[in-house]
Structure 1
Amino acid sequence: MELRSSAHTDTFARDRLPPPDQWPHLTDLGYPDRLNCGAELLDATVERLGPDRVAVRDASGVVWTYGQLRAQVDAIAYALTDRLGVQPGNRVLLRGPTTPWLAACWLAVMKAGAVAVTVLAAQRPKELATICRIAQVRYALCDARCVADLTAAGVAGLRVTEYGGEGPEDLTRLAVPGTARYPAVATAADDVALIAFTSGTTGQPKGCMHFHRDVLAIADTFSARVLRPSPDDVFAGSPPLGFTFGLGGLVIFPLRAGASAYLADWGGPDQLLGDIAAHGISVLFTAPTAYRAMLPKLGGHDVSSLRRCVSAGENLPAATWQAWQDATGLRIINGIGATELLHIFISAADDAIRPGTTGLPVPGYEARVVSAEDGTPLPDGEPGLLAVRGPTGCRYLGDARQTQYVRDGWNLTGDTYVRDPDGYFRYVARADDMIISAGYNIAGPEVEEALLRHPDVTEAAVVGRADEERGQVVVAHVVLRAGVPGDKGTVDALRAHTKTRIAPYKCPREIVFHTALPRTPTGKLQRFRLRAAGPDDARQPAQ
């Protein structure tokens, strides 16, 4: 695979791409050889629709039109290159809450031809130090409210520039918008634009490298072909911009469509519902957990502006999908994505939605179910590993685990799926979450689905626990509705309920009640903690 001539003077990222024979097969969408995604998302949209449309806004009252956003981005890009000395290909770490300023910094890094390493505001010094070491980061733009942990990370040679603070070297003072347009660096379409790190909850985080063409590819496939936004849409959601689900849904997709985005951090269901009404949100990106949390609170809020609701990050139970439609009339667009592929690659919208399934391959992508042993395709109806390929794919930053994720040109996502005869893909479990008990294969999400249909259950997570007699037993970790006692009577009621919906051998042998389930800052359930930890409220073994 021959790469185009790079515009990067710092070739660190390109030098650490996996060998071409370890890449996945990549679909060519016909982008030109020279392509800067920042210029395409911002400058090209201004040329197409004009500078006066609202681009971004926030709760503090900031409202930037496309023209104002471009002026601010260009000023930041000049500050990066002229004041801070950033060169094309340098890695620039971005850290802060979800705000217009963070989005503008990301766009400026793109236009300057540098490589964005956007991290979560919730990540701690040790995690930040690891990311900076792996990506050899020497520059950082950080919200003044989040700078303490970054400073505490003790990264040698890291130049941190704050924004939103009071100092004379604050970026808000270095990057005052003017009339000078910043000429975007003529990056190659396959120059690395960003390094997105996996959460690293179970080991060393992996840096996933994505090109300028990849950034546009997710907008021109899932967003354009499935979501189908219009320039009049207002996007919002709970995922942070350090999570590629949030970066796509709150920055890339609205800008590519000429729409606007309301940028704010997740502050709970009441805040999100209030924001929907106050700002006329029409396209919402969040996780199944948030949809469940909003359901009992819908009565006090106006959500009539919503027309698109997207769910990803974890499996969307059919019960949650149905309850949301019953309450709002809206059909949630379910999807599965991965940091390794940047965004969603299986989904369905409108009349194509089938509750309980993830959907169909997004146009431009292919998917199949393969054997874990030898990678051969499996017949419809038989569970196996999900394999995907399309215009985006996994390229780890100098990581030997590349050959585990990519095999024979296909990305193996680590999910167990079944392909139905009509072509729909149905989630079974994470491949490492299958529970084998007394010779039976039990998918934790199926048990969770049954538990979530009980009116007293607000959250459920099912894992296996080692057992000498059975190999593993099914353990359910449950958050109950407020006021419901976590006692034996509730355990008996939940077990009786699940037995009416799934085979008795799949029912939990133990039920553990929690006030909350452990999650990453991006909202993903941390099952490994449930496997390792005891209860925080009560453990109730089944009789």
Structure 2
Amino acid sequence: MEVLSSNTGSVNHTLTPNEINISGEADFFRLQRGISTNFNIVDEILHRSQSVRKDKCALSSSSGDINWGQLQKYIYQYQSVLAKLDIQPGDRVAIVAFDSSEMAVVVLSLMFRGCVVVMINPMVDTAGIVMQVSASKATTIITDDEYETSAFDGEIRRISLSTVSSLYDTLDLSAVDYRFKCNTTPFTPCFGVFTSGSTGTPKLAIHYHQDILVALTRYADQVLDIRRNDVVFCASRLSFAFGLQNMFLALLNSASYIFPPREIDTHSLRSVIEKGGTSIMFAVPRVYDMVLSGANDTGQRLSTLRLCISAGEPLSESTFKTWKAAFGLDIVDSLGSTEVFSTYISNFPGSSKIGATGKLIPGFQAKLLNSEGNPCRVDEAGVLWIRGASVITHYDGKAPDPELFQDGWFCTNDVFRQDIDNNYYFVGRNNDMIKINGLWVSPLEIEQTLLSMSEIAQAAVVSLTRADGSRSIKACIVLSEGKKAPTLSEIKDYCKASLAPWKHPHFVEYAKDLPKTATGKLARHTLRREVVSNSAL
């Protein structure tokens, strides 16, 4: 049997694929692609970029740009810095910092060294950061200078990015070993990302070096056609799987990558896109809406854009059509998840179907199962299960949950239907679905209808249980600025005009804002708890 060397801690162990808990799909991908048993994803970036013009921009942020010649040298030079800090291959290092070119160099250097880099969203509150740092099992945390040391466990060593930079400034560059190689394999743990926490406590997904290559060959090569002269911008930070994936897809294609500004608003977005010469844009739908809010001033100045990709939330028909009318480009909707890392369902440029999340990307397997656990018929809604070479087998630190992980399959808990042309349509989250008088109702369907009312800026729908055990629907609404609240009767009539007669709110509550996770998604579990505690039916 072929054996692989995997770094666990600072000691190298020789393990079989089964012992390092990889799926059969992952090992088949390695054999199919002819990936060496000595493999490092950052080394792959360096190898692919050897012929790139050295003065060409590789990474760009508000703090400055780093060209390809600098990046190639920095990754080797920073090995000496990491050695001075006693950060060794196999160590887990948590990163709590806003995106910047300098932070990305540290992340890439750690991965090149064979460390496991756990990305933590700097926008999470202090309690959340402390929880995630603890869950990461990191021995070292690297942060922006502004983070307080007192919040973290005394056993965890905290290093600021400025300390790392200062050590680099004192480095004897003549002593740098440019032949450094770390003993990593396709299945050496490479990075960890936490789930969004929109349905509860965030969970940590650890991915291997090979998983990034899966995203490149399965998704980017078949769907995106990223070129060396492309300038790629992603509005999601590296602490999100979507942001981390897209930086790697750009670098593996020797393109240029632009990081999002710390504060994302209409002005900063337009500035990044226009001044940076962005040709490919990745963003969640609400970011496209932000850009559109300044479309009257922007006009055709976004002419460098050639490809726009959306993920993370359902893309509304209104946003798709308005963007198309303003800039002449489709927004290519898609779906990925932290547990898979790679995008696995997507529309294709030039053939986007409005309302559809897309089609299954070749190389992944999918199945829709109904409430009885049977395969769904055409247009029957069911829970999506996904299988592929980059799918994790369990959450870090937890035993595999058979309700989520089965024989290489992962249960997304997203409810979809598939039409006769194999397009997937998002219906809602499985645990968000509401049964009214024996009929299933998708909160998303009602929410999207409510959001088409000019008076409504935000809307969320939750279910309530009446005293007799029956279920009802409550809409939580944030009004558009300066608008008068519509009555419950007006809301019901508006919903009934375009939806089935039972798909409407029975109650309505107006709020100043709706609870969000640190990723900006609606925190439904928090909203449900607040609504139930405030309601008496």
Does the alignment reach a TM-score above 0.5?
Answer: yes
Matches within 5 A, 1:308-327: 308-327=307-326
Q: Hey, what does 1:173 align to over in structure 2?
A: 166
| Closer/same/farther in 2, CA of residues 246 and 469 from structure 1, 3 Å limit | same
Aligned partner of residue 303 in structure 1, secondary structure: coil
Look up the match of 2:529. Answer: 532
- Taking a change above 3 Å as real, the CA distance of residues 224 and 104 of structure 1, as seen in their structure-2 partners, is same
CA contact (8 A) 2:212 2:342 kept: no
Query: What is the CA distance between 1:208 and its match in structure 2?
Result: 1.0
Residues 185, 209 of structure 2: 8 Å contact kept: yes
Q: CA deviation at 1:126?
A: 2.8
| Matched-pair identity in % | 27
Aligned to 1:59: 62
TM-aligned CA distance change 1:13 to 1:365, over 3 Å: farther
* 1:464-500 deviation line (CA, Å, top 9, x unaligned): 2222357222222233332112253xx4444332221
Structure 1 position 519, deviation (Å)? 1.8
Contact 1:345 1:362 in 2 (8 A): yes
| Aligned counterparts of 1:345 and 1:285: Cα–Cα separation in 2 | 15
1:498-537 aligned at under 5 Å gives the runs 498-534=495-531
Q: 2:257 aligns with which of 248, 261, 266?
A: 261
2:441 is matched with which residue? 442
The equivalent residue for 1:162 is: 160
Structure 1 residues 470 and 321: CA distance shift in structure 2, 3 A: farther
Cα distance, 1:287 vs. partner? 1.1
Q: Say which of 265, 273, 284 aligns to 1:287.
A: 284
In structure 2, what is the equivalent of residue 87 of structure 1?
88
Q: Is the 8 A contact 1:311 1:333 kept in 2?
A: yes
Letter in 1 for 2:168: A
- 1 CA distance for matches of 2:485 and 2:79? 55
- Residue 339 of structure 2 aligns to a residue whose secondary structure is helix
Q: 1:210 to 1:2 in 2, by over 3 A?
A: farther
Deviation at 1:528, TM superposition (A): 1.5
CA distance in 1, matches of 2:270, 2:493: 35
Q: How many residues align?
A: 522
Whether the 8 Å CA contact 1:477–1:511 is kept in 2: the answer is yes
5+ residue gaps, structure 2: none
**Aligned counterpart, 1:167:** none
Task: State the secondary structure of the residue aligned to 2:435.
Answer: strand
Offset of residue 211 of structure 1 = 0.5
C-alpha deviation, 1:521, in angstroms: 2.1
Q: 1:304 to 1:493 in 2, by over 3 A?
A: farther
- Look up the equivalent residue of 1:271 and give its one-letter code: S
Conservation of the 8 A alpha-carbon contact between 1:317 and 1:449: yes
SS at match of 1:349: coil
Q: Would the alpha carbon gap of residues 224 and 152 (structure 1) be closer, same or farther in structure 2, given more than 3 Å must change?
A: farther
2:411 alignment partner, SS class: strand
RCO greater where, 1 or 2, for CA within 8 Å and sep 6 or more?
Answer: 1
1:73 maps onto 2:85 in alignment: no
The range that moved more, 504-513 or 111-120, is 504-513
Cα 1:523–1:350 shift into 2, 3 Å: same
The answer (yes or no) to whether the contact 1:358–1:427 under 8 Å persists in 2 is yes
- Greater shift, 354-363 or 512-521, is seen at 512-521
Structure 2 match to 1:38:
42
Match of 2:123 in 1: 122
Counterpart CA distance in 2 for 1:520 and 1:14 is 40
Farther-moved stretch of structure 1 (403-412 vs 442-451):
403-412
Judged with a 3 Å threshold, the aligned counterparts in structure 2 of structure 1 residues 460 and 13 are, in CA distance, closer, same or farther, namely farther
Residue of structure 1 equivalent to 2:460: 461
Work out whether 1:362 is the aligned partner of 2:358: no
Letter matched to residue 250 of structure 2: P
Given the superposition, is the C-alpha separation of residues 309 and 266 from structure 1 closer, same or farther in structure 2, using an over 3 Å criterion? farther
The question of whether the paired residues in 1 share the 8 Å contact of 2:93 and 2:139 is answered with yes
Tell me the secondary structure at the aligned position of residue 350 of structure 1: coil
Measured against aligned partners, the alpha-carbon deviations of 1:93-145 in whole angstroms (never above 9, x if no partner) come to: 11111111121111011110110011111223332333333332111221113
Q: Is the 8 A contact 1:117 1:194 kept in 2?
A: yes
Q: CA deviation at 1:21?
A: 7.8
Closer/same/farther in 2, CA of residues 155 and 14 from structure 1, 3 Å limit: farther
Cα shift readout 1:158-192 (whole Å, capped 9, x = no counterpart): 1211113xxxxx11111237463262313111111
Q: Is the 8 A contact 1:7 1:185 kept in 2?
A: no
* Residues in 2 aligned to 1:370 and 1:506: alpha-carbon distance in whole angstroms: 23
Aligned equivalent of 1:415: 414
Identify which of 234, 240, 245 aligns with 2:242: 245
Conserved 8 A contact 2:369-2:384: yes
Residue 188 of structure 2 aligns with which residue?
191
Gap runs ≥5 in structure 1: 165-169
User: What TM-score do the two structures reach when normalised by structure 1?
Assistant: 0.89
Distance 2:193 2:60 in 1: 25
Contact 1:105 1:141 in 2 (8 A): no
Q: Does the alignment pair 1:4 with 2:4?
A: yes
Task: Find the aligned partners of 2:180 and 2:503 in 1 and give their Cα distance.
Answer: 60
Per-residue deviation, 1:274: 2.5
Q: C-alpha offsets along residues 394-428 of structure 1, whole Å, 9 cap, x if unaligned?
A: 23223125322212331111111111111111111
Question: Is the contact between residue 116 and residue 194 of structure 1 (CA under 8 Å) also seen in structure 2?
Answer: yes
CA gap 1:531/1:453 in 2 versus in 1, 3 angstroms: same
TM-superposition CA deviations, 1:308-366 (whole Å, max 9, x none): 21111122222322222222221111111111101311001223311111111122212
Conservation of the 8 A alpha-carbon contact between 2:388 and 2:408: no
2:217 to 206, 216, 220: 220
- Contact 1:221–1:362 (8 Å) recurs in 2: yes
One-letter identity of the residue aligned with 2:412: T
Match of 2:143 in 1: 142
Other structure's SS at 2:59 match: strand
Query: Residue 381 of structure 2 aligns with which residue?
Result: 383
Separation in 2 of the partners of 1:366 and 1:287? 24
